[in-house]
């Protein structure tokens, strides 16, 4: 493989519930087949879901292993994330899941079929969510600062993934070379 086929090495950062998973899967869908010779872009180098790197030593280690070209930071207001993450309610006996925003029960707090009360998982309770968000912020602030100093941090702010995505997409198009450019280069 010639030097021209060097891949973009990117990291996606964002608090739990900021839309990392959605953005990652859209990147795979839109860029992989058109631009990449392997699924390398995300599967190995964009370590998502767990929010890696979370600490400065992790960020430095990741940089030593792979020169990170770009860090996509999804900046979604905590209030929005809190609403997103606390919207889930469950009927314990059946496992039915309701979402206050997308799939609400007919009566607030009551299962549609049995009339039994719905519960919130510990993870979805507002106080737990706030604690997780504060921990994320404290932990990743030095990481974001590290990438900012290196000049690779791109922050995308917004309240909806569908509004943030077009900006991420446009940005990545400037970073990922068109396939035909790659093909015309002789090794």
Q: What is the pLDDT of residues 167-184, one digit of tens each?
A: 999 999 888 755 433 444
How many structural domains compose the chain?
A: 1
pLDDT at 65: 78
Would you say residue 18 lies in a domain?
Answer: yes
- Which two tokens mark 116? 């039994």
Instruction: Note down the domain range covering 149.
Output: 10-178
Would you say residue 3 lies in a domain?
Answer: no
pLDDT at 39: 43
pLDDT at 55: 84
Here the CATH number for the domain that contains residue 166 is: 3.40.50.300
SS (H, E, C) the chain: CCHHHCCCCEEEEECCCCCHHHHHHHHHHHHHHHHCCCCHHHHCCCCCCCCCCCCHHHHHHHHHHCCCCEEEEEECCHHHHHHHHCCEEEECCCCEEEECCCECCCECCECCCCCCECECCHHHCHHHHHHHHHHHHHHHHHHHHHHHHHCCEEEEECCCHHHHHHHHHHHHHHHCCCHHHHHCCCC
pLDDT at 22: 83
Would you say residue 48 lies in a domain?
Answer: yes
Would you say residue 183 lies in a domain?
Answer: no
CA 161/CA 172 separation, integer angstroms = 16
Would you say residue 187 lies in a domain?
Answer: no
Would you say residue 186 lies in a domain?
Answer: no
Would you say residue 134 lies in a domain?
Answer: yes
CA 152/CA 150 separation, integer angstroms = 6
List of the chain residues with pLDDT < 70: 1-7, 32-52, 177-187
Would you say residue 184 lies in a domain?
Answer: no
């Amino acid at each position: 493989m010639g030097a021209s086929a060097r891949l973009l090495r990117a990291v996606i950062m964002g608090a739990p519930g900021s839309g990392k998973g959605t953005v990652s899967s859209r990147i795979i869908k839109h860029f992989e087949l058109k631009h990449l010779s392997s699924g390398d872009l995300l599967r190995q180098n964009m370590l998502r879901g767990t929010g890696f790197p979370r600490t400065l030593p992790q960020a430095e280690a990741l940089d030593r292993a792979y020169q990170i070209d770009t860090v996509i930071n999804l900046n979604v207001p905590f209030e929005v994330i809190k609403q997103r993450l606390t919207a889930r309610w469950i009927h314990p006996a059946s496992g039915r899941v309701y979402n206050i925003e997308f799939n609400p029960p007919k009566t607030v707090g009551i299962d549609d079929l049995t009339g039994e009360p719905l519960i919130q998982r510990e993870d979805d309770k507002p106080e737990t969510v706030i604690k997780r968000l504060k921990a994320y912020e404290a932990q990743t602030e030095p990481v974001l600062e590290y990438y900012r100093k290196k000049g690779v941090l791109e922050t995308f702010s917004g309240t909806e993934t569908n509004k943030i995505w077009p900006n991420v997409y446009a940005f990545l198009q400037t970073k990922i070379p068109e396939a035909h450019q790659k093909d015309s280069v002789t090794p």
